Amino acid sequence: MGYDLKPSPFAPERFPDMPEIAGATLFTTASGLKYQGRDDLLLVLLEEGTAAAGVFTRSATAAAPVHWCRRALRESGGQARMLVVNAGNANAFTGRAGEETARITAEEAARLVDAAPQQVQVSSTGVIGEPFEASGLTRHFPAMLAGAPATWEEAARAIMTTDTYPKGAAATCTVNGKQVRICGIAKGSGMIAPNMATMLAYVFTDAAVPAPLLQKLLAEVVEETFNRITVDGDTSTNDTVLAFATGKGGAKVEGDDTETLSVFRKALHAVCLDLALQIVRDGEGISKFVAVHVKGAPDEAAARAVGMSIANSPLVKTAVAGEDPNWGRIVMAVGKAGVPVDQQKLEIFIGGQLVARNGAVVPEYSESAAAEHMRGREIDIAVDLHMGKAALTVWTCDLTHAYIDINADYRS
C-alpha cells in the first residue's frame, strides 16, 4: 500500500475481552491475494442448526458476494454452516467472473463440511474491479480447518483494509435464567455511509433464535446503529452485516416472549452500536469524532435526513477539522436536507451552547467558547427544528488532508 496509515487517535488501548461462542470456530490465514505478511482470510465454522440473517448494501452496483449472500439466505431458509471473508479485493464490478468466484468459493467451503453451498456466506472487501480466481482462497481452506482456531482479535485483524485497529464488541444477557453471549467483529474506515462503507460486520450468539426472528431483529438494529454513521457519505458496493445464532448456549429467544425478546434485542443493539461507533472513530484520516443530534423533527425520516445532511457536508466536516465554529455551514446543511424548515423556529447548538434562534445568532453566543469546544476531540452539534417530537443522533468524523492522501494512493 502506498498510503501511510497513522493510528487513529481514538484507537482503544487493547482489544476487548470476548468470550467464545459455542458452535462457532474461527480460523485465519494469509492468502497472499493482495497483502503480504498478514492474515487476510477468515473462515468461521458453524455447527449444524445455526440460524443466519443478513442486511446488505442498497447500492445498485452491489458486489458478487452480496448477490450470493442474498440468494443463499433465501434458498437455505436462513441456515448457515460457514462464513468466508477475504480482505484486499472486493470482488465488485467483476462481471460473471466475479459471480463464479463467489459461487465456487461457497461450493468448495460447503464440500469440506458436507453442507449445501447455500449454507455458506461469502464476503469480500478491498479494491473494486479486479477479478480473482476462487482458488486463491479455496486452496487454503483444508489447512485452515485442520489448524488451530483463531482468536476474536485475529479474526478482526484478518478482515481489515484501511482500518488502523481491529474492531470487536461483546455483550451478555440473561434469558429465562440462562446466560446468552453475543460477540461481533467489524471492519470499516472509509467509503462509509451504510444504506441498508467498505463496511463488514459479523455478529454471533449462542442463543437459539429462529431465522425469521433473527432477520427482523437484525434489520431493526442495523437501522438504529450502522445506518446512522457516516465517514465520507459513500455507500459501499459490499456493505454487509450478518448475524448467526448457533443455539448451543441453551437459551431460546422466541417472538411471542416479549420480555425475553426485549432483553436480547437490547444486548444485540449494544454490540452493533459499539461496532458502528468504532468504525467512525477509525475514519480515514480522522482527528475528531462528531455526534450530530437532531430533535423536534416531524418524523424520524426527516430527523435522519437533517442529521445526515450535516454529518456528510464537506464544509461542516472541514470546519470541524479546522476547529472553526462556523455555524453558518450547519445552517446550510439543514437547508439542503430536503426537509421543510421554519427559520424562526430553528435552533442550533455547538458543544451544548445555543448559537442561533429566531433566524439569527443569539446575543449571548460566545464564539470563543464554541472555538474552545471545537479544539477538543469529541465534537457535539445539535439542531432543534421545533416541528415535531422525532429525534435521533448520527455519528461522523472530520475531513482532513490525510483522508485525501489515503484515498489518492489506495490502489498503489
> Which amino acids are annotated catalytic?
198
* Continuous segment of H or E residues that includes residue 354: strand 353-357
Query: Could you tell me which of 54, 62, 42 has the C-alpha nearest to residue 118?
Result: 54
Query: 380: helix, coil or strand?
Result: strand
Question: Residue 25 pairs with which residues in a beta bridge?
Answer: 45
Q: Alpha-carbon distance 23 to 25, whole Å?
A: 7
Q: Are 121 and 24 in contact (CB under 8 A)?
A: no
**Judging by DSSP bridges, how do beta strands 360-361 and 41-56 pair with one another?**
unpaired
Find residue 354's DSSP bridge partners: 349
CA 220 to chain centre: 14
* Count of C-beta atoms within a 10 Å radius of residue 163: 24
* Half-sphere CA count of 202, side-chain side, radius 13 A: 25
For 200, which DSSP code?
A: E
Distance of CA 64 to CAs 67, 139, 334, Å?
5, 20, 36
Q: Is 88 in contact with 161 (CB distance < 8 Å)? A: yes
Q: How far apart are CA 257 and CA 259, in angstroms?
A: 6
| 84 bridge partner residues | 43, 122
Q: Where are the strands (E) in 32-177, listed by range? A: 41-56, 79-89, 120-127, 167-175
Report strand pairing: 200-205 vs 240-245: parallel
Distance of alpha carbon 130 from the chain centroid: 23
Residue located via cell numbers 445498485: 60
